Amino acid sequence: MKTTRILPLAIAILTSLTLHAGKNHSHEKKEPGPNGGRILTSIEPHAEFLVTADRKVQITFVDDAFKPIAPAAQVVTVTTGERSAPVKMTFAKTETAFLSEQTVPEGNNFPVVVQIKPSPDAKAMVEKFTLNLSNCPDCKYAEYACICSHTH
């Protein structure tokens, strides 16, 4: 009796594993941002996240062709650093982008939460990723902005 219940379950599990193993896990080609940063596609309009040479964060909004567009009434907040001592970054609007008033903490690898409100009273769109500032061995970008298809 137990065999009649276990057999269909085992077949379902094996089928699922076989289908999953057969999938091609290659990623579609990623496009670099106009300044060499990471494109945040879950945010509309899309935005480029870039850590500048002086460790500030620059958020540049881009059109569908990844060409920079002037910032509007967006509100940008980034939280990063060690989980035990996170840094909440605030931003000043420039002619072409938003630039953080704080710098990214020392280190090379920590979580980032980007929150962008299209307008001050709108709900925030959120994107989370790991900010790995190490250089990619295959392309000229930092790992957080890497456009290669290798596993990160």
Is 90 contained in some domain?
yes
Residues of the domain holding 72: 38-145
| Tokens matching residue 132 | 């790995």
pLDDT in tens, 62-76: 998 999 999 999 999
Q: Above 80 in pLDDT, residue 106?
A: yes
How far is Cα 57 from Cα 117, in angstroms, rounded to an integer? 17
Q: Is residue 59 part of a domain?
A: yes
Residue that wins the pLDDT comparison between 103 and 32:
103
- Whether 9 maps to a domain, the answer reads no
For residue 17, is it within any domain? no
Q: Can you give the pTM of this predicted structure?
A: 0.78
Which residues does 22 contact at the CB level (< 8 Å), separation at least 6?
none
When pLDDT is averaged across residues 18-30 and rounded to a whole number, the result is: 45
Residue 129 lies in a domain: yes
Give the number of domains in the chain. 1
Report if residue 100 sits inside a domain. yes
Q: Give the CATH number for residue 68.
A: 2.60.40
Q: How many CA atoms lie within 13 A of 137 on its CB side?
A: 3
Max distance between CA atoms of the chain, in angstroms, equals: 73
